[in-house]
Structure 1
């Protein structure tokens, strides 16, 4: 691999082993290469200074290491980011927000970091392959009429590697389930039409771009645009705000979760698929508190597992699986809910 193809390299210098480890984990989520991680003494003892694009330096007491700053200023031209906030415990909302602040600082120095699927990657999904193993809709699950608003909505959140995972998930669902989907995918806006064509060609679900005033119907997979924020009004209709999504990437999966759950509450659930970063980790615990189901794609089947792993670390997930397993779990969950409702109706009759 040539130097141009390598991810940006960073050096992490801290006198706290715990902070070094948390910083190393965090920069790895953003696709960066930790080429040096150690305390000031180890750095000063190096035979050659690491070749990196950025230095991250966080010290409990800068006065304890007077030689470090002179050493760095004399030996490197790479930017030096001093005083990074102390990292909170992993899996907490504070940790997710800390990672977002760190990402902002990194991108101020290195430019946009998250990798997105290219047009070539998306077109590759359109190639002939083995047919998906679809199942018939279980008889206990009532037919979801496609002209009726969905009573239950599942948010599909994804980034790098997400289109392939979401396509597999949809291809393993039988037609006619009484649910609708809202799809939040980090992607270059120029590739939206390609994504819509590729994912909509083989699945039994109606992939469509969001339109103002539309209510999510059974069988819908509504793709949210990357430019401006969308929400649901009091009647459950999609509406566009005149402002961009918060955060560095659109659509913001955290904001999608919050906006949809604000209307659907415990009838809004989420599946987080492959992706870099930690989008979704802030809002997922809030949905979990409503009683929503939060599922994630397992690490082994992800193109990049940082995003689902971050959500899983919050402790709010109730199922982990590959895309096909997630599809089967959804059918099982719907069937169990329908059987329970039948029993309750029979008991009250």
Structure 2
């Protein structure tokens, strides 16, 4: 995978330098200089970077900085980057997204995606997948091809296909649940991903189709190029517009679109990925009464996306893909036990 561009950060407030550097790291950028104006002016060898980010409390306090930059670099300079709010605040994620948009205007698309080599490696793992666990006796098996009442959105980016595959491998057949899978991926690899994850006998990966419903046992893959919604009658519906934001499918928008129909019966698990897609909409789902879970950091190929959602305070569970699968089974089992008890008490 090709390395990402290197950038330089100049700020006269230590906290701002730290937050800019942290955000740049989430986007896969290498930061080869981070310091105040005086440090840059006194630097023994001017750093070679693709872009400079400059934010100052008062530009008049550093009159020599701008001449120094103009004399020593041909790289673009972004002046006056907005001060970063506290991490975890809703304004922080908006700030981070604005920063990403500015960076991509100069550097092109930044988010790393899984490559063809990653897909081939995943295919070999899929060929040796073990046997799925048995369904609990407390859970009534769902009839296949029946519309799902509970839908879980699986949101992922870099490292996501392997994590989602492991999650599905650890689910027993017959759970009364359907899945909508929003994966940042190069559109050229969609067929490969469908073939690899489509090998599950119990949870079938299917591309979204106009007029189809999310059924128990389905894993509906959201297309990359075009936004999809769920109509009032529960059917999948393509729009005539691209997904909002820099990446497709937009996980934030998938969360909102699916929750718009399923309400509190729509839940989300955010898996491995770069950036912070999902961090705006996930707290809204949590406010509806939906469950929001995230993959824990050490098991991720890149933990920025689940960490960003977790930092909002809306995630009620964190775990490895195996632990997330086990928690889903426990959750459904508890729901079935409560439903059976209520039926007995009402009899």
Q: TM-score range by the shorter chain?
A: over 0.9
Q: What residue is the counterpart of 1:164 in the other structure?
A: 162
Q: Residues 82-115 of structure 1: CA distance to partner in whole angstroms, max 9, x if unpaired?
A: 0111111111221111111111110111111011
Mapped pair 1:124 → 2:109: no
Q: Residues 254-302 of structure 1: CA distance to partner in whole angstroms, max 9, x if unpaired?
A: 0000000011111000001111110000000000000111111111111
Mapped pair 1:95 → 2:92: yes
Q: 1:258 aligns with which of 256, 259, 272?
A: 256
- 215-224 vs 45-54, which moves further: 45-54
1: CA distance, partners of 2:5 / 2:343: 60
Q: Residues 189-240 of structure 1: CA distance to partner in whole angstroms, max 9, x if unpaired?
A: 1111100000111352111000011110000000010011000111111100
Q: 1:1-349 alignment to 2 at 5 Å?
A: 5-127=2-124, 130-132=128-130, 134-349=132-347
Instruction: Extract structure 1 runs of 4+ deviating beyond 6 A.
Output: none
SS in 1 for 2:123: coil
Structure 1 residue 330 displacement after superposition:
0.4
Contact persistence 1:180–1:218 (CA under 8 A): yes
SS in 2 for 1:55: strand
SS in 2 for 1:296: strand
Q: Residues 126-167 of structure 1: CA distance to partner in whole angstroms, max 9, x if unpaired?
A: 115654363111111111111210000000000111101101
Structure 1 residue 346 displacement after superposition:
2.3
Q: Which runs of 5+ in 1 are unaligned?
A: none
- 134-143 vs 279-288, which moves further: 134-143
Contact persistence 1:171–1:203 (CA under 8 A): no
Corresponding residue pairs, total: 346
2: CA distance, partners of 1:120 / 1:144: 36
Structure 1 residue 180 displacement after superposition:
0.1
- Taking structure 2 as the reference length, what is the TM-score of the superposition? 0.97
2: CA distance, partners of 1:72 / 1:139: 69
2: CA distance, partners of 1:197 / 1:130: 15
Contact persistence 1:123–1:198 (CA under 8 A): no
Structure 1 residue 119 displacement after superposition:
1.9
Contact persistence 1:170–1:203 (CA under 8 A): no
Contact persistence 1:13–1:58 (CA under 8 A): yes
Q: Which runs of 5+ in 2 are unaligned?
A: none
SS in 2 for 1:190: helix
- Taking structure 1 as the reference length, what is the TM-score of the superposition? 0.97
SS in 1 for 2:315: coil
CA 1:5/1:226 → structure 2, altered by over 3 Å: closer, same or farther? closer
Contact persistence 1:140–1:338 (CA under 8 A): yes
